[in-house]
Structure 1
Amino acid sequence: MTHLQLKTNLLNQSLTLPNGVVIPNRLAKAATSETLATYSNNPTEKHVRLYQRWAAFGIGMIITGNIMIDRRALGEPGNVVVEDERDFAVLQKWAKSVTEQGSQLWAQLNHPGKQSPKGLNIRNISASAVPFGAEMQSLFATPDEATHDEIIEIIQRFGHSAAICKKAGFSGVEIHAAHGYLINQFLSPLHNLRKDEWGGTPEKRRKFLMEVYKEIRKQVGTDFPIAIKLNSADFQKGGFTEEDSLEVIKVLAAAGIDLIEISGGTYESGVAKAPQKPSTIIREAFFIEFAEKVRNHVKTPLMVTGGFRTVEGMNQALESNAFDIVGIARLMAIDPDAPKYLLAGTNSKQNVQPIKTGIKKIDRLGIMEVLWYTQQLNSIAQGKAPKPKENGLWAFIKSVLRSGWGTYATQRTRIKS
């Protein structure tokens, strides 16, 4: 742990959103998929325990991992689904475990579209019936093109899920429009080949997202914060570009979105792994250069996630005024107490390192950046310590076995219900 001489630790400054909601400081836990739910997709005490631990040392806000809006559309076994109030008491306890400690808890709402393992869902839909690239086709099936009626239903589900989360005591919601999930699929000209009102031009490709935002706003009101997680770019040839992203951001800002989290990449291109120049690596924040471009066009508060390693780097990035909130994710999986150090002006005892299995085909996909860290979250949720030195290959084997069993168990649960 390094002790630094900071004149002022900018992480400790509060941030007031345009709607008047105050985030206590500039440090946020960005979303990471936990897959801690039951195989019938109910939140559990594990969520309460994990989030209570994360909030123990004053982090400003925590954004949940994927909360799906439809039990028929899961991204992974063990996803939480909020489509009705059957788990309302647990949702309340989950929210309270964070908010009663002074932090905010925002629910990340998502629909996977085609980004769901083979066999998990009875049917996967997307903007268009476009398969994954060759390397991913063994994992993900080619989806059906969503009908107009299905699109309208999904929009309404986003709004309904947001309203339930608000009622349960969550501090805000985040629309997941990044990393290759359904909304990102609609935004991308590579995956959205439609020629109707939902595709064909940039304006039509972003219509689905804008209708989701409008429906959520209608159901939660103007005083409840709505954020979005949006790719700066997909980093795929023919896909969603920085120019596309900037135009989407301008429209969202004009519509009144409260917070924009900038990320990048997809499971095909590598999640949150922008092509890195040496100058970007030194500055730590992967997407700070794009944030600077955004800042020239909109005044909406910005959150940047990805690449942060030190409290000094976080402060230098905040000093640039390119964005407002530092998002950390993987560090919190190996050091849940990291906020204690960062807010005190020192570095965590742990360092985030690339996770490799030694199998090139697997490592090229970048999925270990999800699977290995999910294992660590499960340890914390069980009241155990994370294992920062856990072998990547062993974690992969456990994840494959767990996912295979989870898919089977989910199918069995679906049949019984």
Structure 2
Amino acid sequence: MKNQYFPKLFRHGKIGNVEIKNRIVRNSMGTYLGNPDGSVSEDQIKAYAQAAKGGAGLIFMDNVTPVAMTSCGLRADDDRFIPGLSRLADAVKLNGAVAGMQIAHPGRDAGFVGSEDVVAASPVTYEPWYQHGAKLPRALTIDEIHSLVEKFGDAALRCKKAGFQIGRL
């Protein structure tokens, strides 16, 4: 059956030099299937393998944090996370999809994902729930900003070593 509404959806495509079997992308989302320490779990591997079997050409994982945080998706702030991330990327690729990774820091929402140190670009917030007892963020210092930029780069390199082919910072 020819798709008259999305004629190019099932055609292969390229992002840079990476070939993708179609133009269906499963965006990153919080599955909360990882281990409490931010490492990859067996349930997470199974879920992403199933998503790849479902036909998407590119699958982004849960957000990966470049700093030590728990309950915030996956972690890539230390080399000890590379083997689990590698198993996750392999499960996606073995089931026909390209493994993508989004590296993110929760910023002012860090308190909602288990961090005691809630930092952001500024202590200013606009979300109404901060008016009801949530911890306000503190502003990052210039040195912390530079450190965070370096940690993002380190996390991206770990994800690349683990076999992820597409990345968003």
Q: Which TM-score applies when normalising by structure 2?
A: 0.88
Matched to 1:151, the amino acid is I
Matched to 2:92, the amino acid is V
Structure-1 residue corresponding to 2:58: 61
Report deviation, 1:154.
0.6
Report deviation, 1:174.
1.4
Structure-1 residue corresponding to 2:168: 174
Structure-1 residue corresponding to 2:144: 150
Say whether the 8 Å CA contact 2:60–2:101 is kept in structure 1: yes
Matched to 1:36, the amino acid is L
> Which SS does the other structure have where 2:90 is aligned?
helix
Change (3 A) 1:52 1:133: closer
Report deviation, 1:5.
5.6
Say whether the 8 Å CA contact 1:115–1:140 is kept in structure 2: no
Q: Deviation string for 1:33-56 (max 9, x for gaps)?
A: 112222222111111100000011
> Which SS does the other structure have where 2:122 is aligned?
coil
Matched to 1:80, the amino acid is L
Distance, in Å, in 2 between the alignment partners of 1:48 and 1:119 is 21
Q: Which runs of 5+ in 1 are unaligned?
A: 176-417
- The reply on whether 1:163 has 2:163 as its aligned counterpart is no
Distance, in Å, in 1 between the alignment partners of 2:126 and 2:110 is 11
Change (3 A) 1:119 1:137: farther
Distance, in Å, in 2 between the alignment partners of 1:31 and 1:92 is 17
Q: Deviation string for 1:224-252 (max 9, x for gaps)?
A: xxxxxxxxxxxxxxxxxxxxxxxxxxxxx
Report deviation, 1:139.
6.1
Aligned counterpart for 2:17 among listed residues 15, 20, 34: 20
Report deviation, 1:140.
3.3
Report deviation, 1:78.
5.1
- The reply on whether 1:40 has 2:37 as its aligned counterpart is yes
Say whether the 8 Å CA contact 1:14–1:24 is kept in structure 2: yes
Structure-1 residue corresponding to 2:135: 141
Matched to 1:125, the amino acid is V
Report deviation, 1:148.
0.6
Report deviation, 1:58.
3.0
Structure-2 residue corresponding to 1:100: 94
Distance, in Å, in 1 between the alignment partners of 2:37 and 2:140 is 24
> Which SS does the other structure have where 1:86 is aligned?
helix
Structure-1 residue corresponding to 2:26: 29
Taking only aligned residues, the RMSD between alpha carbons, in angstroms, comes to: 2.1
> Which SS does the other structure have where 1:117 is aligned?
helix
Determine which structure has more spread, i.e. the larger CA radius of gyration: 1
Change (3 A) 1:172 1:122: same
Report deviation, 1:116.
2.3
Distance, in Å, in 1 between the alignment partners of 2:129 and 2:83 is 42
Q: Which runs of 5+ in 2 are unaligned?
A: none
Change (3 A) 1:118 1:44: closer
Q: Which TM-score applies when normalising by structure 1?
A: 0.38
Structure-2 residue corresponding to 1:238: none
Matched to 2:107, the amino acid is G
Percent identical across equivalent pairs?
24
Distance, in Å, in 2 between the alignment partners of 1:162 and 1:125 is 21
Q: Deviation string for 1:134-163 (max 9, x for gaps)?
A: 344336311111001100011011111110
Structure-2 residue corresponding to 1:11: 9
Change (3 A) 1:132 1:120: farther
Aligned length: 168
Say whether the 8 Å CA contact 1:37–1:44 is kept in structure 2: yes
> Which SS does the other structure have where 1:116 is aligned?
helix
Matched to 2:134, the amino acid is F
Mapping 1:305-316, distance limit 5 Å = none
Change (3 A) 1:20 1:143: same
Distance, in Å, in 2 between the alignment partners of 1:170 and 1:51 is 13
Change (3 A) 1:40 1:5: closer
Distance, in Å, in 2 between the alignment partners of 1:16 and 1:133 is 38
Task: Say which structure, 1 or 2, has more relative contact order (CA 8 Å, 6+ apart).
Answer: 2
